[in-house]
Amino acid sequence: MEHTSTLTKTYTSRYYPWLIVSSGLLILVTINGLTTSSLSVFDEVLQKEFHLSRSLLKSRETVTYAISATFILFSGILIDWVGVKKLLLTGLGFMTLALAGYGYAQSLAALYVMHVLLGLAYVCAGSVAVVILVSAWFQEKRGLALGITLAGTSLGSAIFPPLLNHLIQTQGWRQAFHWLAFVPLLLLVYTAVVVESTPEKAGMEPYGRLFTGKALVKQGKTYAEALRMPLFWLVSFCGFLTFLGIVGIVSNLFLHLRNMGYGSPEAAWTLSFYFGLALIGKFIVSSVSDYVSVYPLFTACLVGLMLGALGLASFSRGLIIPSVAVAALSWGGVFTMYNVLIVRSFGLKSAGKINGTISLFENIGSLIGPWVMGWFSEYSGSYQQPLFLTALIIGLAALISLFFFRLSSR
C-alpha cells in the first residue's frame, strides 16, 4: 500500500508541475495581454472619443506603470508572506473590474481609474508572481518551464490585437471591453480550484527531485544578502534601461506604423506578428539556457534588440518587418533571461522581495518609456529620433550586462 502511494506521488510530481506551467501561461496571456500592449489597438477610437493629444492619450499607460512601480515591491513582500496563489486571485479580480468598468468610462479621469486597477492586476498576477510560482515547482528544466510560461506574455499580445480590432469594428469599443471582462473572471475560478502555490502545500516534490533535500523556496540569498551584491544593482539598472526602451517602442509601434502609411488592420497584424515572434524567442532562448551560461546569452539578446530599434529608426519601409522580427525575437530572449538570470543568481529564499525590487526598476522604465517616446515624437515631428535614442539606451544596457558573469562568480 505504501509502495502504491509512493508511485502515485511520484507520477503526480512528474506531471502536475507542467499543469502549473500551463496555468501560469494562461494567467500571463490574460494579464500581460490585456494590461498594456494590446490595448493600444483602442488608441485611435479613444483619441477621437475623448479628444486627446497623443501624449495625453499615452499617459493612461503611464498610470498603469506608475501603480505597478509603486506597489511591485509590496507585492513581493506579500508573496513571501501570504503565498503566491492569493496574489494571483487578487490580480485577476482587479483585472475583471478594470475591463468591465472600461466600457462605461466617460472621461479621461475614468480611464485613469481603470488603469489604476490594471496596474494593480499586473502587480498581483504579473510575471513576478508567476515566475515565482513556476520556479518553485522545478529543480530541473526550469529554463524550459519558465520559457513556456513567459511565452504567455507575448501570446496574449499576439492573440488579442486582431480580435480586439474585429470587436471594435463590429460591436464598438465599449462592448468589446464588456466581453473581455469574462476572460479574467473565468481564469480566476480556474486558479482558485486548480493551482497550488508550492509542491510542499500540495504534498508533492518539484520536478526533477524525489522526496529529498531542502525545499526550493528555502534555497538562495536572503534579501539583505542580495542588497549587498553589486550584481543585484547592475541587474536592476539594466532592467530599468531595457524596459524603458522596449516598452516605449511597443506602446508606440501601432501609431508609428500608421504614420508610415500602414492601414489599421495591417498595423494590428504587425503588432501581432511582433508578439508572435517574441513568443518564439522566449521558448528558444529559454530552452538553450538550460545548457549554456545565461549571461552571454542575455547580452546577445540585448544586442539584437538594439539592432531592431535601429532598423525601425531608419524609416525604410523595406526594413520594418525584418526590424520588427529581430526586435521581437531578441526581446523574447531578454524577457525570459531576466527571470532565469534572477532566479539562478539569487535563488527563491527571498524571491518575492528580490524580484519585486528588480521589477520596481523595470516598472519605472516601463512607466517613463511610453510617455517619453510619445512626447518626443510630437516634439521632433516623427518617431525617428526617439527610436535612435532608444537604440542607444538599449546598447548601454548591453554594455552593462557584460559585467554580470564576473560579478556572479564572486
Q: Is residue 312 part of a domain?
A: yes
Q: In terms of pLDDT, which residue wins out, 399 or 81?
A: 399
Residue span of the structural domain in which 60 resides:
2-204+214-408
Total domains in the chain come to 1
Read off the pLDDT of each residue in 351-366 and give the average, rounded to a whole number: 83
Q: Is residue 77 part of a domain?
A: yes
Please check the confidence at residue 338 and state whether its pLDDT lies above 90: no
pLDDT of residue 270: 83
pLDDT of residue 268: 77
pLDDT of residue 11: 45
pLDDT of residue 185: 95
Please check the confidence at residue 250 and state whether its pLDDT lies above 90: no
312: burial class by Cβ within 10 Å (0-12, 13-18, 19+)? buried
pLDDT of residue 292: 80
pLDDT of residue 409: 61
* CATH number assigned to the domain comprising residue 328: 1.20.1250.20
For the stretch 17-31, pLDDT in tens is 999 999 999 999 999
* Percent of the chain residues past pLDDT 70, beyond the cut: 93
pLDDT of residue 32: 85
Q: Is residue 282 part of a domain?
A: yes
Binning pLDDT at 50, 70 and 90, where does residue 203 land?
confident
Read off the pLDDT of each residue in 171-194 and give the average, rounded to a whole number: 92
Q: Is residue 133 part of a domain?
A: yes
Task: To the nearest 10°, report the CA torsion of 284, 288, 293, 294.
Answer: 30
Q: Is residue 278 part of a domain?
A: yes
Q: Is residue 209 part of a domain?
A: no
Q: Which long-range contacts (CB under 8 A, 24 or more apart) does 73-76 make?
A: 73/353, 73/356, 73/357, 73/359, 73/360, 74/123, 74/356, 75/123, 75/124, 75/128, 75/129, 75/352, 75/356, 76/128, 76/351, 76/352, 76/353, 76/354, 76/355, 76/356, 76/357, 76/359
pLDDT of residue 89: 96
Please check the confidence at residue 184 and state whether its pLDDT lies above 80: yes
Instruction: Indicate the average pLDDT of the chain.
Output: 83
pLDDT of residue 209: 62
Please check the confidence at residue 388 and state whether its pLDDT lies above 50: yes
Task: Indicate yes or no: pTM above 0.75.
Answer: no
Please check the confidence at residue 98 and state whether its pLDDT lies above 90: yes
Binning pLDDT at 50, 70 and 90, where does residue 217 land?
low
Please check the confidence at residue 335 and state whether its pLDDT lies above 50: yes
